[in-house]
């Protein structure tokens, strides 16, 4: 069988930030073949093959190219600050799906080419994006978040309404409440059967949950260990744990979770243990920048947010200094709006004293490593997926500029143009980019 020819695209005269943390290459070339990166590096090291000499080159005129960014903590089923999630109970499922599709498109167009949805979407959304039926970031889905009765996943109210189901659940979503080790083993297996890419647990109370406080212990260590064991048995799935207060963080760290989501009350001892184990912190700083409207959520939830968001911002630099691995995550869908994910980069620099290059690495290669997809994406390296953005500004001079979609000139995912705001790729558009 004759192989199908994969057209080449050569991007020339670009400044390359490859996602590894290495210094940028001032005059670089990047070659895309089909959906993959064929070559990237300094222009004077480009192999001089007859094939490459015959391909037209697209001059980027010194623009900076970065890997497509990865948000490891999003909630596409939640609307963000502009809408009350409880309204979902009055909406047809089809309408809620269409709103999710708009959020997926917006997020992709603004620079996120991979996203890990940690509660709300089922595997059907992942499949639709992968088959290019709808535009969106490459998806990893947890489907549900698991907690005990009166824990962070328990939004059942005295009037009989399950607020979590109303806000995020689609038909067939597995229940979220687990109270014994046997419960959690069965529920993890159910999530695997439903197509989950990772497992999401809650070992502390939360800011938005009605029955608990962030400093309370949620799932006990023996339940977390059971979930970690089951996830390991089913293909080595990652376990992400919502943990805000110290008892919940300790339970997750000691039980072997792969990532601590939020981690606001980390202690120096827990930081040292995470660094030694290689456990990631996903700081979700963007979620701490806006307090929920007390008229919608009630004064008690607003008070929790005011307190714990300040704790998060004050503690993050100590976690960075302790060499805990960091991966970008925004919690978009709660108080953080969809499509502004890259504002997290500037917040990591502001509150963590990270360099812009460190922040970019946390949102590319390190985020890919946390998610277990580092052989696929996260760096602009030979053989990786052609996921990249062309920047309108120098992100190392002004990392905050990436938070403005106007400065994300072009997004390419899997070798296909997602958006080309300035038309720079119109001059050369091989079939694989359309």
pLDDT digits (tens, 9 = 90+) for 223-237: 999 999 999 999 999
Q: What single DSSP character describes residue 337?
A: P
How far is CA 180 from its chain centroid?
30
Residue 170's contacts (CB-CB under 8 Å, 6 or more residues apart) are 77, 93, 96, 97, 121, 122
How high is the pLDDT of residue 416?
96
pLDDT band at 28 (very low <50, low <70, confident <90, very high): very high
Residue 133's contacts (CB-CB under 8 Å, 6 or more residues apart) are none
Q: What is the pLDDT of residues 61-79, one digit of tens each?
A: 999 999 999 999 999 999 9
Angle between helices 246-254 and 221-233 (to 10 degrees): 40
Q: How many residues does the chain have?
A: 434
Task: Over range 394-421, report the average pLDDT.
Answer: 97
Determine the 3-state secondary structure of 93 from DSSP: helix
CA distance 15 to 40: 11
CA distance 284 to 336: 9
Angle between helices 343-352 and 299-321 (to 10 degrees): 70
CA distance 251 to 239: 13
pLDDT band at 128 (very low <50, low <70, confident <90, very high): very high
CA distance 287 to 340: 11
Task: Over range 297-324, report the average pLDDT.
Answer: 88
Task: Over range 252-280, report the average pLDDT.
Answer: 98
Angle between helices 268-277 and 299-321 (to 10 degrees): 60
Q: What is the pLDDT of residues 87-105, one digit of tens each?
A: 777 888 899 999 999 999 9
Average pLDDT, the chain: 92
């Amino acid at each position: 069988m004759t192989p199908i020819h994969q057209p080449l695209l050569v991007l020339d005269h670009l400044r390359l930030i490859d996602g590894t943390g290495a210094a940028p290459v001032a005059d670089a070339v990047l070659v895309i073949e089909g959906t993959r990166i064929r070559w990237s590096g300094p222009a004077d090291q480009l192999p001089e093959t007859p094939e490459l000499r015959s391909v037209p080159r697209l001059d980027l005129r010194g623009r900076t190219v970065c890997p497509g960014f990865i948000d490891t903590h999003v909630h596409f089923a939640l609307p963000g600050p502009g809408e009350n999630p409880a309204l979902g109970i009055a909406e047809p499922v089809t309408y809620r799906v269409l709103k999710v599709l708009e959020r997926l498109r917006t997020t992709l167009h603004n620079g996120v080419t991979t996203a890990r949805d940690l509660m709300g979407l089922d595997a059907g959304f992942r499949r639709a994006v992968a088959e290019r039926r709808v535009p969106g970031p490459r998806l990893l889905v947890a489907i549900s978040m698991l907690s005990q009765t009166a824990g962070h996943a328990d939004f059942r109210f005295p009037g009989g309404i399950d607020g979590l189901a109303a806000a995020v659940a689609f038909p067939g979503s597995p229940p979220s409440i687990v109270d014994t080790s046997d419960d959690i083993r069965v529920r993890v297996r159910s999530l695997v059967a439903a197509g989950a890419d990772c497992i999401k647990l809650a070992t502390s109370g939360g800011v938005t949950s009605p029955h608990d406080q962030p400093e309370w212990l949620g799932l006990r260590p023996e339940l977390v260990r059971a979930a970690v064991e089951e996830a390991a048995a089913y293909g080595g799935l990652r376990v992400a744990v919502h943990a805000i207060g110290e008892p919940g963080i300790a339970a997750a760290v000691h039980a072997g979770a792969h990532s601590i989501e939020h981690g606001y009350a980390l202690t120096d001892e827990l930081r040292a243990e995470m660094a030694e184990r290689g456990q990631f912190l996903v700081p979700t700083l963007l979620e701490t920048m806006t307090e929920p409207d007390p008229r919608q959520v009630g004064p008690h939830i607003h008070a929790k947010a005011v307190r714990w968001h300040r704790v998060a911002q004050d503690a993050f630099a100590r976690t960075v200094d302790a060499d805990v691995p960091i991966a970008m995550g925004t919690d978009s869908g709660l108080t953080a709006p969809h499509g502004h994910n890259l504002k997290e980069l500037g917040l990591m620099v502001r509150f963590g004293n990270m360099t812009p290059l460190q922040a970019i690495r946390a949102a590319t290669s390190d985020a890919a490593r946390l998610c277990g997809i580092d052989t696929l994406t996260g760096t602009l390296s030979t053989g990786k997926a052609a996921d990249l953005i062309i920047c309108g500004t120098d992100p190392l001079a002004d990392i905050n500029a990436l938070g403005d979609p106007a400065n994300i000139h072009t997004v390419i995912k899997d070798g296909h143009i997602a958006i080309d705001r300035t038309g720079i790729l119109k001059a050369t558009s091989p079939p694989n980019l359309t």
